[in-house]
């Protein structure tokens, strides 16, 4: 998802959930790795089956024997739902008695750019819930109720912790307005 004025891009969405299987059957990752296309077991000690959907996407599902899963690498929730549906169909084709599926968005991560450079030293003094240690990391951490932002002096930002795609525009907009209303942008130097 991209905002109306293209000031951010979603980079990754993480979903978690479970396939509800008949009799709480435990999944056999070794057996499923032979029956599901683009699924493999990384190491015998790794507890999950690693599944790709066969497209060129980076979407990856870790499927555990409990039928719980974590899906990462999708850029929107609709793509995540398609992947989950594909996996459900793959499990049914592998004779796993899937009754239903439950899932939720765990995290949405995105990046963006503000209109100008920002004064991180002024932000740390002005805004509560901000941390800045330039000798350790060049970005400032700014926490709101809905998200955590990494803000950089050049105006670049990263957000994480968002749970609803439909809230991103508002969350980014509030952050931008907070910086603007507190006069935290660096004024460009006048040319002589």
User: What is the Cα gyration radius of the chain?
Assistant: 21
As for how many domains the chain has, the answer is 2
Between the CA atoms of 34, 62, 104 and 99, what dihedral angle is there, to the nearest 10 degrees?
A: 30
Q: Are residues 95 and 124 part of one domain?
A: no
86 or 192, which is more confident? 86
Instruction: Assess if residue 2 is contained within a domain.
Output: no
Buried b (16+ CB within 10 A) or exposed e, 13-43: bbbbbebebeeeeebebeebbeebeebebee
Residue found under tokens 């952050």: 175
Q: Are residues 101 and 129 part of one domain?
A: no
Beta-carbon contacts of residue 121 (< 8 Å; ≥ 6 apart)? 132
Which pLDDT tens digit goes with each residue over 24-38?
899 999 999 999 999
Instruction: Assess if residue 78 is contained within a domain.
Output: yes
Which pLDDT tens digit goes with each residue over 151-184?
999 999 999 999 999 999 999 999 999 999 999 9
Q: Are residues 75 and 28 part of one domain?
A: yes
Q: Are residues 84 and 29 part of one domain?
A: yes
Q: Which CATH number characterizes residue 165's domain?
A: 3.30.310.10
Query: Residue 118 has what pLDDT?
Result: 96
Instruction: Assess if residue 191 is contained within a domain.
Output: no
Region 81-91 average pLDDT: 96
Domain region containing 129:
114-181
Cβ proximity of 165 and 1 under 8 Å: yes
pTM score: 0.90
Q: Are residues 79 and 135 part of one domain?
A: no
Q: Are residues 167 and 86 part of one domain?
A: no
Q: In the beta sheet, which residues pair with residue 142? A: 130, 149
Distance CA(152)–CA(179), nearest Å, equals 13
Q: In the beta sheet, which residues pair with residue 182? A: none
Q: Are residues 129 and 60 part of one domain?
A: no
């Amino acid at each position: 998802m991209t905002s109306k004025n293209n000031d951010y891009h979603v980079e990754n969405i993480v979903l978690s959930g479970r396939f509800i299987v008949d009799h709480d059957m435990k999944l056999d990752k070794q057996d499923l790795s032979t029956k599901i296309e683009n699924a493999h077991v990384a190491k015998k000690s790794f507890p999950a089956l690693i599944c790709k959907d066969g497209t060129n996407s980076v979407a990856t599902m870790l499927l555990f024997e409990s039928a719980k899963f974590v899906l990462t690498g999708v850029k929107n929730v609709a793509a995540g739902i398609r992947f989950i549906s594909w996996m459900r169909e793959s499990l049914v084709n592998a004779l796993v008695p899937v009754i239903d599926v439950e899932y939720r968005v765990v995290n949405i991560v995105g990046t963006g750019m503000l209109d100008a450079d920002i004064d991180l030293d002024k932000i740390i003094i002005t805004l509560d819930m901000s941390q800045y240690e330039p000798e350790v990391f060049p970005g400032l951490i700014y926490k709101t109720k809905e998200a955590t932002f990494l803000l950089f002096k050049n105006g670049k930002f990263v957000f994480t912790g968002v749970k609803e795609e439909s809230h991103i525009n508002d969350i980014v907009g509030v952050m931008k307005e907070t910086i603007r209303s507190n006069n935290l942008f660096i004024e460009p130097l006048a040319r002589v």
